Amino acid sequence: MNTGSPAGGDAASHPRPTVIQLSIKEKGALYAAYIPLFTEGGIFVPSSRQYTLGQDVYVLLTLPEDPQRYPVAGKVAWITPAGATGSRTPGIGVRFPADDKSRALRARIEEILGAHLASDRPTQTL
């Protein structure tokens, strides 16, 4: 048994991830929030809360016309602060982890969006 090892960490040094419930009801809103630039995909979460880059977040995501909730243990990859230029919505970009669940979620989002992915309409993301 290894006690006192700094590598082991404790609850104080590894706070539990923030849990965020995000329900996207329309394809247009999903298009605006989806982040295809991340290798595994990602999602924009509108929020006025303070986050830090690299922070662990747990998103329970509901997609349009899909009753299933998709759990995502992601990381904050960018932050749009309140008062950002161009009247952008404050919130965070959450990068999906590199795992099979994320690959399946990315495929499901792209299946829902279909032809919308080729649109040049502005989004809430990069």
Note the pLDDT tens digit of each residue in 41-69: 999 999 989 999 999 999 999 999 899 99
In a domain? residue 35? yes
Helix (H), strand (E) counts: the chain: 2, 5
Q: Which residue has the higher pLDDT, 117 or 106?
A: 106
Print the domain residue range for 73.
Answer: 18-117
pLDDT tens digits for range 90-101: 999 999 999 999
In a domain? residue 80? yes
In a domain? residue 91? yes
Angle in degrees, CA 52, 58, 64, rounded to 5: 115
In a domain? residue 10? no
Helix/strand/coil for 66:
coil
Q: How many domains does the chain have?
A: 1
Which token pair is 49? 């809360």
Mean predicted lDDT score pLDDT of the chain: 83
Q: State the pTM of this model.
A: 0.79
In a domain? residue 6? no
